[in-house]
A and B are shown apart, each in its own frame.
Chain A
Amino acid sequence: MKKFQKFVSLLSAAALLAMLPGSNTLTASAAEPTTFCVSYDEGDDAWYYQRDTSEYNPNIEVKEAFQLKDVIKDGDIVVVVGISDDTGLDLDLSNVRLSNLTIAQAATVVVRTKGVDECYVTTDSVAAITGDVSRAYVYNEGSVTFNSNVSYLEIIGTNDVHANIYVHGTVSHVKAVDEASIVCYEYYDFAKGKLEISDGSVQTDEAYYSKTPSASSTQNTAPATQDSQSSAPAPGNTSGAYDSVPKTGEAFPAYLVLIAIAAVCLAGRSVCKRA
């Protein structure tokens, strides 16, 4: 009798699992990238981070920026939002490769990473970034030092380009465009530590770069999307991730599951009594 009851319980559990949506299939999916906003609090004179937002949201819990390293994972997105002042952020994320790093009007920001897929540095930002960058976009008067290699570097200006950029590693492809998408200049294969751009002008000796692409310089250097030419950076533009559209579905109601469990238990109990 007890064995039979146990059998009915197991059968009930199996029936319940079968009824749950998606439970009869095994799926594996990579964790969705998480967006973190790192912003400066003038009152506290401190940097904090927030989760699941690309800009400061007073309704989301803040934590100290140095703690971000403990929660961030490969593929996540970081948006640093500051004020154009010497506020000094040293963000150690050297344990992860970011899919997107955006420095939005934040001055004196140092970010150490394992690498970045897409990096956006907006006007009035002053930043130093460690870690190989696949595609970097620097806007208007942005100033940035890349301490590692950059595969593709695009400099975007309004009427002309005015960025200040120094790269300690190599740069495969550099393109400067204005807001009308007119290419101001386009160069390739900068030697290690030789790319220097001051107020939009290339200061590097011509011996250290090429004006024509080689076979290797055009690999992995295509700009991400047309959006890269707009004045506003687009954090979160990662391949493999879905477009950001409000999720308007309704979660499967838990009470239905509980009712199903109760029904199965009742059915099992009736069967046991008859037995």
Chain B
Amino acid sequence: MVCCLVCAIFLMARRYLEYRHTQDLVESLRPSAVTDEGSAAMADMPESSSALAGEDVSGTEAAPAAEPDKVPVPNPYADSFLANEDMAAWLTIPGTNIDYPVMWTPRDENYYLYRGFDGKDNKNGCLILDTDSSLDPLTTNLIIHGHNMRSGAMFGNLTDYENEDFYREHKTITLYTKECQRNYEVIAVFRSQVYKKTDQVFKFYKFFQADTQEEFDDFYQNIKALSQYDTGVTAEFGDRFLTLSTCVYHVEQGRFVVVAKEVEEGDYYQPVE
């Protein structure tokens, strides 16, 4: 019994230290102040997306050029981008602890699954951008995977979106890339799973690009049908999405998914050097 307790304490301590290391490392990467023009715009965002329906979101694939009235500002995460070239973006859900770098390693998608930002072994891992997603050129859908940690780290609290009240208080998601700040509003929340290769079903994790109305409709109609509640947010062909995915255990290979639609962009950034 004593041996078991000692081992348990040792493992708990190691887990806690790993968690603290992750948190401290991420804290050190967070900028002291995020330039907030885009954030302020998000705070004033209307309830539904209907007010933004007039925007032209024809889905250009190239990196965005700064609009004439938007002066590029220094990237608040420039130091983080420079600290690790595998970092593709920074993801924030205001009001939650989801505030982490997003790694992209096309040669080995799972490289940061159990490694920290510093590349050292870490059970918390990092948020990883699916290698079939791309920021340049920008794909229709960006899929970010993250661990569902009991401690609440990474996407441990993503499942809070199952509560509609939580959704109402956390409708927006922000992705800071090298080029600009991308703002999203949650459009669908659902449980799904990873299927077998031969299963002929809707696979949310297979949607990256919609070149036709049909491809878009297939994804859009399925996520709206699966959504646990009606967010009132709509989308049309040409819109872009951000999909957050983490494991849940309601079925084998279960996934909890939050899909958000891109709305107006925030700040444009000066090149990271």
Contacts and interface: CB of A to CB of B under 8 A. Distances in A.
Given A258-B11, A262-B8, A253 B150 contact: yes
Interface string A18-56: 000000000000000000000000000000000001010
Contact of A250 (B108, B148, B197): B148
A262 B5 contact: yes
Nearest to A259: B8
Interface stretch (B64-72, B173-181, B198-206, B258-266): B198-206
Given A255-B12, A261-B4, A248 B194 contact: no
Contacts of B34: none
Contact of B148 (A241, A248, A255): A248
Given A57-B108, A258-B11, A246 B5 contact: no
A258 B8 contact: yes
A265 B4 contact: yes
A54 B155 CA distance: 28
Interface in A227-275: 237-243, 245-251, 253-256, 258-259, 261-262, 265-266, 269
B15 A246 contact: no
B196 A240 contact: yes
B123 to A, nearest CB: 7
B196 A247 contact: no
Nearest to B196: A242
Interface string B126-168: 0010100000000000000111111000110000000000000
Contacts of A243: 194-197, 203, 205-206
A102 to B, nearest CB: 15
Contacts of A55: 107-108
A249 B116 CA distance: 16
Interface string B236-273: 00000000011101000101000000000000000000
B1 interface: yes
Given A245-B205, A246-B145, A262 B247 contact: no
Contact of A239 (B15, B194, B198, B255): B198
B155 A248 contact: yes
B4 A259 contact: yes
B111 A59 contact: yes
Given A53-B108, A261-B4, A249 B247 contact: yes
Contacts of A253: 11, 15, 150
Tell me which of A237, A240, A262 has the highest count of chain B C-beta atoms within 10 A of its own C-beta. Answer: A262
B1 A266 contact: yes
B29 interface: no
Interface in B202-240: 203, 205-206
A248 B206 contact: no
A192 to B, nearest CB: 31
B113 interface: yes
A240 B150 CA distance: 31
* Chain B interface residue number, banded: 35 or more
A61 to B, nearest CB: 14
Contacts of A247: 113, 247
Given A241-B196, A242-B194, A259-B8, A265 B148 contact: no
Nearest to B147: A248
A206 B160 CA distance: 67
Nearest to B203: A243
A57 B15 contact: no
Contacts of B197: 225, 237-243
A151 to B, nearest CB: 18
B23 interface: no
A262 B8 CA distance: 9
Contact of B5 (A245, A251, A258): A258
Contacts of A262: 1, 4-5, 8
B208 to A, nearest CB: 13
Given A245-B145, A248-B145, A253-B15, A259 B5 contact: yes
B107 A249 contact: no
Contacts of B35: none
A267 to B, nearest CB: 10
A246 B109 contact: yes
A253 B13 CA distance: 12
- A-B pairs with the 10 shortest C-beta distances? A249-B247, A258-B8, A255-B11, A265-B1, A262-B4, A255-B8, A246-B145, A258-B4, A248-B247, A245-B194
15 contacts: A57-B108, A237-B197, A243-B203, A243-B206, A245-B194, A246-B128, A248-B155, A248-B246, A249-B249, A250-B148, A255-B12, A262-B1, A262-B8, A265-B1, A269-B1
Given A239-B198, A248-B113, 17 more contacts: A55-B108, A239-B197, A242-B196, A245-B205, A248-B125, A248-B145, A248-B154, A248-B155, A248-B246, A248-B255, A249-B147, A250-B123, A251-B123, A255-B9, A255-B11, A266-B1, A269-B1
